[in-house]
Structure 1
């Protein structure tokens, strides 16, 4: 089901009023400071603003948290791994086109996203978390100018590609040291048919759910990453009318296991 932004904000405001756990989400992402939604979401970080690699267990209990599954489930985390961190990513999927070829199709060229800590939300309010990527997709992508926003107090780090097959997660910031490393895709599953296709309900579909594994096991404290609950990100089926390089807005949850 597709929701308008107004409907999502109303639904989230209702949830926040009923269960005011974690509220720092909109910040400078296009909301006016006088709005009730902004005010409630500024309080959202009280439960999930844990700091450091080990302190989160004292802030919330993630031992029983179950990761959502795609209609065709991805393989489970490898034996011995446990949930380490959960983040919402907001950014772009990037593509290239051969503009000299009339029959060319877009080619994936990596992604760039800012990651925000929602670990305790995965334990305390998983239903609310499941719609956060849809809400985030409707808001502007964070930029360097947002660094003074309260939302950055919950930043996990950044996601980007170091080459066409290496997804890099840098979760070491000025605030936290969660780890960093390069990952490769080992499995994929189509997003549910109900996934948000793009901004304002218009787009080419949600990118697949993924399972990623560390390229070098000793490189990073977390060893596997799942991209789930995706919203937007898919390119058009043809390069017709597209530039040589272009971006498609997306959002997703990232689940890290160590």
Structure 2
């Protein structure tokens, strides 16, 4: 049985072949994040309390998971595929501008992401899925360190995401010794705008689109498809007016 890779993507890259991880500043996250973090911790506390009442420990079963309602306009997973991994991605979307044409829209030039293993968290508490990325956006992610944890959820690294070229998104899920899941170069199959109520980013920008991506030759571990859903922020301004030649917009996703 092939595997379905279900991811939240994150950081962005301004070069294709040798991605470098940006330093993300926590300064922009205060004080607008207090409500988001309060909601996250309150929900987490209720889940902990509920778990104490269970007769048996919760089971990490991905077979019952489905795409969120906002993904209804994306093609369904191909027949015969099974869900293999859920990750929270934390990072930036990258854009460029031409100073000669400030009235034009910024051009997307890829993404670079650190991916954090959220499979069991989401499988056992689906209600946490939409809040994980919202809360994570308000905490910095260090440069590539397999041992780091995603605040405030304490999720461990399961991979990285970047672009090999202008059309090839690459997910490496073999970077952490504990999670040898596979690698998948892929291309966009379909996109749909994020729901109107999707969380906005640190600068109040809209959430980037939700995507389905299909594998290109070279995928390993049986990985065939990727979904980017539950996005938070990441969109560029409408025009290049006042923007640098290249810039990043922080975002999170599942």
Superposed pair shares fold, TM > 0.5? yes
Identify the match of residue 10 of structure 1 among 32, 38, 48: 38
Measured after TM superposition, the shift of residue 106 of structure 1 is 0.4
- SS in structure 1 opposite 2:41? helix
Give the drift of 1:110.
0.2
Aligned position for 1:213: 214
Post-superposition offset of 1:66:
1.5
Equivalent pair of 2:146/2:176 in contact (CA under 8 Å): no
Quote the Cα distance in structure 2 between the aligned partners of 1:91 and 1:250: 6
Structure with higher RCO (Cα < 8 A, 6+ apart) = 2
1:37 is matched with none
Q: Is the 8 A contact 1:198 1:204 kept in 2?
A: yes
Is the contact between residue 206 and residue 235 of structure 2 (CA under 8 Å) also seen in structure 1? yes
Structure 2 unmatched runs, 5+: 1-30, 50-56
Equivalent residues in 2 for 1:189-228 (5 A)? 189-199=192-202, 202-216=203-217, 219-228=220-229
Does the Cα contact within 8 Å between 2:212 and 2:228 map onto a contact in 1?
Answer: yes
Looking at structure 2, the residues matched to 83 and 240 of structure 1 have their Cα atoms a distance apart, in angstroms, of 43
Scaled by the length of structure 2, the TM-score of the pair is 0.77
* Other-structure match for 2:174: 172
Q: Deviations over 1:193-251 (max 9, x none)?
A: 1112211xx33311000000001275452100000000001101100011111000010
Which residue of the partner structure matches residue 185 of structure 1? Answer: 188
Closer, same or farther: CA 177–219 of 1 in aligned 2, 3 Å: closer
Relative to 1, partners in 2 of residues 1:123 and 1:96: Cα closer, same or farther, differing over 3 Å?
same
The question of whether the paired residues in 1 share the 8 Å contact of 2:182 and 2:219 is answered with no
Going from structure 1 to structure 2, the CA distance change for 1:128 and 1:17 (only over 3 Å counts) comes to same
234-243 vs 70-79, which deviates more?
Answer: 70-79
Q: Name the SS for the 1:138 alignment partner.
A: coil
TM-score by length of 1: 0.76
The CA RMSD measured in Å over matched residues stands at 2.4
